[in-house]
Amino acid sequence: MKAISVGMLGLGTVGSGVVTIIENHQDKLMHQIGCPVKLKKILVKSLDKQRAVEISPELLTTNEDEVLNDPDIDVVIEVMGGVDNTREYLLKALKNKKHVVTANKDLMAVYGTELHTAASENGCDLFYEASVAGGIPILRSLVDGLASDRITKMMGIVNGTTNFILTKMTKQGAAYQEVLKEAQELGYAEADPTSDVEGLDAARKMTILATLGFSMKVELDDVKVTGITQITEDDLKYAKQLGYTMKLLGIARRDEEKVDVSVQPTLLPDTHPLASVNDEYNAVYVFGEAVGETMFYGPGAGSLPTATSVVSDLVGVIKNMRLGVNGRSAVTPQYPKKLKSPDEIFSKYFLRLHVYDEVGVFADITGIFSKHKVSFEKILQMPLKRKELAEIVLVTHHASLKDYEEILVELNELHSVKEIKSSYRVERGER
């Protein structure tokens, strides 16, 4: 039995996990695919760097051509990160008839269509399970397990860093900056956490999920994104008082032929399954017309969980090689992209206002909501330390995004409203 030769681009956290699994699980791999798997060459930036795994120096190279142009290498695993250079490397690998497994969500969110086309043209597989939600097999579930169903909605916690921060803020009553610092010290957040806390990382993952789940070419610019940097202890306190938990949710919804995709801080009822997903864990809730509701839960990052997804993709590639069906798994989007307009996107909303404590203020506010035919589900009103001010917290019934955005503009123009302190989507979890 000829061994399958694998080249790898990158040997960081995930790459070290891939090496560990391939070396330690050879018996399992042999049972699954009927032949040995051999790491032949690994591209690294430095040959002298200390590694998390013991590895023979002869396997390492700083020249990408030793991986991309080696005719003996069957599969290239990309775990180096980056976008533009990495795109060039993977296009070259595919052109050289090498199958590709990647964990790179940034790359797939931006260049996924181009890479799929190159893979198809060259009869190669392109798998990327590890690009979304680490060790959770969500992409494989959408493409294979739920292939016969029509997905109507996907809603999930797909960024462990922000979930860790919001969990700590909620449970400890701590401020955002304080918890962010702790997350950085523990290694959950990068020194520059912008991609995570501004929702960009989650948006890239939702782009991939929406494209696969809806069979529609959804692009990163189609995702409406709001991060968690403005969330305060008071927001979380009122959310808890009203029976909600705050999560940064990616939400992709399809109604008939139109879709909307967003990433934003969202209030969930405390009883919702996603409300109990804490710390660095990820979870994705999927609604299908036939299957109903399903939830996928697990570690969203980490060396071995993510590497497990990478090696599972590798097993899939090798099985296809043995069957002679490589390059046939990519399915072009079935539907043309049709995005909802703001008057077609509906939700409930949480709104916190500071107003002047005067006669008629509440009547002014309710008048604006009434004009747009938006009613209230919950109302709290409290005096503030400054005697001339009061705080009003509202949860609306369902309203269109168009109406709600117009309401916010009109409230800002109202002389009796000093400030809109915060505004968040409220999710009930229904289809």
Indicate which residues carry an active-site annotation: 205
DSSP category for residue 99: E
Pairing label, strands 399-400, 346-356: antiparallel
Residues in the chain: 431
Tell me, rounded to whole angstroms, the distance of Cα 268 from its chain centroid. 18
Torsion angle of alpha carbons 14, 15, 20, 22, nearest 10°? 110
219-251 burial, b at 16+ Cβ within 10 Å, e below that, comes to ebebbbbbbbbebeeebbebbeebebbbbbbbb
Spatial distance between the Cα atoms of 277 and 298, rounded to a whole number of angstroms = 9
Helix (H, G, I), strand (E, B) or coil at 174: coil
Cα angle, residue 268 at apex, residues 410 and 302 outer, rounded to 5°: 120
Please give the full DSSP string across 387-425, using - where no structure is assigned. TTEEEEEEEE-SEEHHHHHHHHHHHHH-TTEEEEEEEEE
